[in-house]
Amino acid sequence: QRQRFLDGFAEVMMSFHRLSDVDIDELAERWRQLSSGADRAVLGHELTLFLMRNPEARETVAAQRLDIIRSLGEFISKNVARIGGTLTIEAEMLARVILAANDGITLDSHLDGEDLYRPYLQLVMSSVRT
């Protein structure tokens, strides 16, 4: 599922050739499409709560979570370099922040009726410099 999510963003990212080409609105729209609504985000929050209450389960999924972080970090690094940018934060740390915020952004966008995808992506993109 995460790979499908990354593949969806990869398709949009390939249309950008320079940092100045990056279209936050297009990225936000793709995120909206790929997030599958609030149901998946609710399940993500429930899983997080379960893992917080069950340390033994946390150990079971630790390697998988690290794999996802590394995969997203590599995706970020590769695409930022491809468009001629540099990161002001380590790629894996940015990946951790994005993954931690993803479900919250989706849930709050649905709960409050405010589109938080675009402002959040603006924050993420502020960590990319030319």
Quote helix, strand, coil % in the chain, to nearest 5: 80, 5, 20
Give me the residue label for tokens 């709560």: 49
pTM, whole model, 2 decimals? Answer: 0.86
pLDDT at 2: 63
pLDDT tens-digit profile of 31-45?
A: 888 776 778 788 888
| pLDDT tier, 7 (very low <50, low <70, confident <90, very high otherwise) | confident
| pLDDT tier, 116 (very low <50, low <70, confident <90, very high otherwise) | very high
The average confidence (pLDDT) of the chain is 89
Q: Hey, which CATH number is domain 1-129, 2.20.25, 1.10.357, 3.90.550, 1.10.10?
A: 1.10.357
pLDDT at 102: 86
pLDDT at 1: 59
Q: At what angle do helices 24-34 and 2-13 cross, to 10 degrees?
A: 160
> Is the pLDDT assigned to residue 97 strictly greater than 90?
yes
Domain boundaries, the chain: 1-129
CA distance 18 to 16: 6
Please list the residues that pair with 129 across neighbouring strands: 86
| pLDDT tier, 69 (very low <50, low <70, confident <90, very high otherwise) | very high
pLDDT at 36: 66
What single DSSP character describes residue 86?
Answer: E
Take residue 60 and report the two structure tokens written for it.
């079971």
